[in-house]
Structure 1
């Protein structure tokens, strides 16, 4: 079966040897008229010589030579035999003649359809062709055939509600990360209600998106050696909700032994957006079901589950922003997130952190995390708008009788010395508030906690940005700076806001970031192999005695600094200590 070509926008079907008809779908297709290229991969099913279904991952055939990379070949990659069947991919030719093999759309779990919606899934069988998938990017070169590559597993973000692995690159991963001698895996997992719906009891505990991620890690553990990867040297990395997922996977007894290092970027389990109590998440799920038309009693969990299973998928799709008619959050809080379920998280979070195996950690934030949220949220850049936003935040948090006092403390902390007529300064403080509340304070608590219990931690703040790299977002930004998602293009090589056309400075930052990330994956230290030489470490390990010391990632050269976010996170430690719901996690 050759590369798929489609005429008139129709997807074809193929008659396989056993006379079963299989429909092949693609996100983008090759036009018969123009010969334009497939942008996203699609999964082909055919029979191998031994009678098993053969999953063949076809990737784009492009005529464009990337500035940093190469070209996708029409040649197939070597056949890899896995526990879920044989798999063949496509090869990516680097300019120096080396090859990265790309295996796209590999099923790792049963299709979550019908009665399997909102249920735990199993590892995929050999006859499954439509299910949760992952992608493997592996260097073909090895100086020593016995040597295995370190493995990096990417968990995408998107507020636990949007995006997929395809949003974060394919060939860009091959030419930016794999070129530095690592195998990279990216995965898809259930999102929104599909991944994080719960009834709050044994009927549906929830956290299915995390269970999916765990299944993907189990698949990696069982199969990655066949791709040249080392199952005993696996790093999980993710950003935003993906960073929170990476952290939560590292502490759950169900997943923590499946990998060895972790890189949470701009998100972790300590961030306010990342977790709810089971009761709070179940209440939200009931409210959402009533919005859809459910009329059952609050304690009718079986009826609620059956109602949700019967809904068309289109009715259950929830983005980051509220659906029309269902305005749950007025402060930007996410809808469907992990919950403290007593199963994936069988004991309190602090206890799970203490009892888990020590893992090296590399983590950080951008300089202006809140800039992204202020731009997309459209918050008024006035003192009154600031006050209204504070009201929304703390109305939705469990501060009890302290709510009014907390609101006043936050308002005074950020605006007490600001002239209300200085809208530029008010906007800066709004950006600080959003970043501190959503990301910075939680990441700082995470760094401190994990270091204090014996983990080696490397902490950074990403400050570099290209002023021409914001795409559509530039029209909404009150000012430009490194913000939420800015660092991703320098790790994965793909822009989130706009197409990434790196200039010379960008290329320099890509080399810096990918070196840090791949060094950490290979050696547990972003500085490289310290067993060879430890004469100079650019990036110092975090020291709780210097709690705000971190690496400023900037040009011309990253450097250590002592004043993370001007120490504002100290204030938030006192605020979060008054949150009763957080104390229950």
Structure 2
């Protein structure tokens, strides 16, 4: 389990640090699905937060419902005790799960959500507390809402007059398998998220929230999901503001064409044992997969040994013609303009280098660049590969292991996340959306890499334990203020007509951003200017018109 903030020694009354252990609430809430009872948390200032954990929002996605869109849960008769997180979608546990607050795995019971609701009213928001909906990351393959806290959410975000909802959704093959036709179009993980948002819209007022002031936020694959939800006509009107952190629909990992994802899906089924008949129909492969135990189908970030490439995400959203009836570019133009707060950490790629083992040698970096820019997907691919190698490997001694790893981290972070984040800020600002771009630079001994910013918002470490010092606690205050202000007002500076320290993104100065450190300040070189280099690579994609 993650370490939490100490209960003494560094009191922070503003943040509610030092929350006591939860007890059972004496309050019940009648929802459209049935009555629920939750747990009660007491923040250090004495104010109460009720947590309703593991509320089902869909029928068990098993049997014939495996690989189908979610079905709304049937109403239950008795009061449902919602004291514990629901189980995870089946997934392979990875090497760092010792840091995680792990719950069990159960395909039938994985579609649940959790609500953390302040038990006080706000004069500023008589229609109810603003709502933040958290979508977890994990490469569309692993984790669950339980990994990101309960008491820590109560003291970090609910203490700032917010309701926080965290959701589970189907992952890996369960959430994103597709046959590429009407038998299974895929994207069921996104349909799960959409059904959860519909449930929140219909019920959150009963918990004291305002259904007309909802912010969806997520990180990595959760950030990509948040952005994609803001585009689809099935989901985009269910919330009003969006915070895609270290991932969005413009990032390379976020989405595939339907043809590519269908081929990968079919190849994976064959790899794990499906033996097609001569015709190899969609009905046949679905019937075989529905007959398999979940343990055979589950994946982790490392995929299945012997299948795919190192670091490759096997199951991701696809442009199915249903959840995404048009290209992402077309949907982005027609979608309602939403305030967006987005950004990255200073060294996003360090996490992935350590996780994937891709930086084994200088030559492995060259091979990775070659794989990123294949001839079949890019115009003038050979020239682009040469330019990328010149930018990242010039002057590097192939025998300098430390420098090779550092350069690989830059390549991987830029290719996977940083370039897409800059691209999204550019596109949305040019379309007229209020955009606030950040680069999280704050350093503690773990550095600022993928996931490390989350501890300062949610209160828990994801890839390492969190033992905050005084500066860490200042950063917690700063980050939670930014996020709470954005959720309330669509402006991280707060309710003010005058611009604060964080300036709105300027289409005439596309790399200007807030450097989040102590103190924060506006700077002009986003990720040292490298994402601007990747813009011409973005323009060279042969399938760009279809994305």
Listed as ranges, the matches of 1:156-235 within 5 Å are 156-235=136-215
2:296 aligned partner: 315
Instruction: Give 1:58-457 correspondences, 5 Å limit.
Output: 65=7, 68-127=17-76, 130=109, 132-144=111-123, 146-296=126-276, 300-325=281-306, 327-330=307-310, 332-380=311-359, 382-395=361-374, 398-399=376-377, 402-457=380-435
Q: Cα distance, 1:421 vs. partner?
A: 4.4
Is residue 453 of structure 2 the alignment partner of residue 487 of structure 1? yes
Consecutive unaligned residues in structure 1, runs of 5 or more: 1-38, 41-61, 471-480
Q: Distance in 1 between matches of 2:355 and 2:313?
A: 14
* 8 Å CA contact 1:72, 1:90 repeated in 2: no
Query: Is residue 235–residue 259 contact of structure 1 (8 Å, CA) maintained in 2?
Result: yes
Normalised to the residue count of structure 1, the TM-score between the two structures is: 0.83
Report the Cα offset of residue 394 of structure 1: 3.2
* Deviation by residue 1:544-572 (Cα, 9 ceiling, x = unmatched): 101100000001x1000001112111221
Deviations 1:446-465 (A, max 9, x none): 01001111100000000113
CA distance in 2 between partners of 1:380 and 1:89 (Å) = 47
Higher RCO, 1 or 2 (CA under 8 Å, sep at least 6)? 2
Distance 1:425 1:74 in 2: 51
Counterparts of 1:114 and 1:122, CA distance in 2: 13
Once the two structures are superposed, residues 303-343 of structure 1 have per-residue CA deviations (whole angstroms, 9 ceiling, x without a partner) of: 11111111110011011113123x2124x121100000000
Displacement after TM superposition at 1:94 (Å):
1.0
Distance 2:405 2:369 in 1: 14
The more displaced of 413-422 and 116-125 is 413-422
Q: How many residues align?
A: 507
Q: What does residue 525 of structure 2 align with?
A: 563
Asked if structure 2 preserves the Cα contact closer than 8 Å seen for 1:110 and 1:131, the reply is no
Deviation at 1:77, TM superposition (A): 4.2
- Preserved CA contact (<8 Å) 2:379 2:540: no
Structure 1 CA distance for aligned equivalents of residues 279 and 268 of structure 2: 12
Deviation at 1:512, TM superposition (A): 0.3
Match of 1:524 among 490, 500, 503: 490
Give the TM-score normalised by structure 2: 0.89
SS in 2 for 1:221: helix
| Cα distance in structure 2, aligned partners of 1:74 and 1:80 | 17
Contact kept, 8 Å, 2:50 with 2:119, in 1: the verdict is yes
Per-residue deviation at 1:581?
Answer: 3.0
Contact 1:77–1:102 (CA under 8 A) maintained in structure 2 = no
* 8 Å contact kept, 2:110–2:169: no
**For residues 200 and 291 of structure 2, what CA distance do their matches in structure 1 show?**
33
- Name structure 2 gaps, 5 residues minimum: 12-16, 81-108
- Shift of the 143–294 alpha-carbon distance from structure 1 to 2, 3 Å rule, reads closer
Tell which structure's C-alpha radius of gyration is larger.
Answer: 1
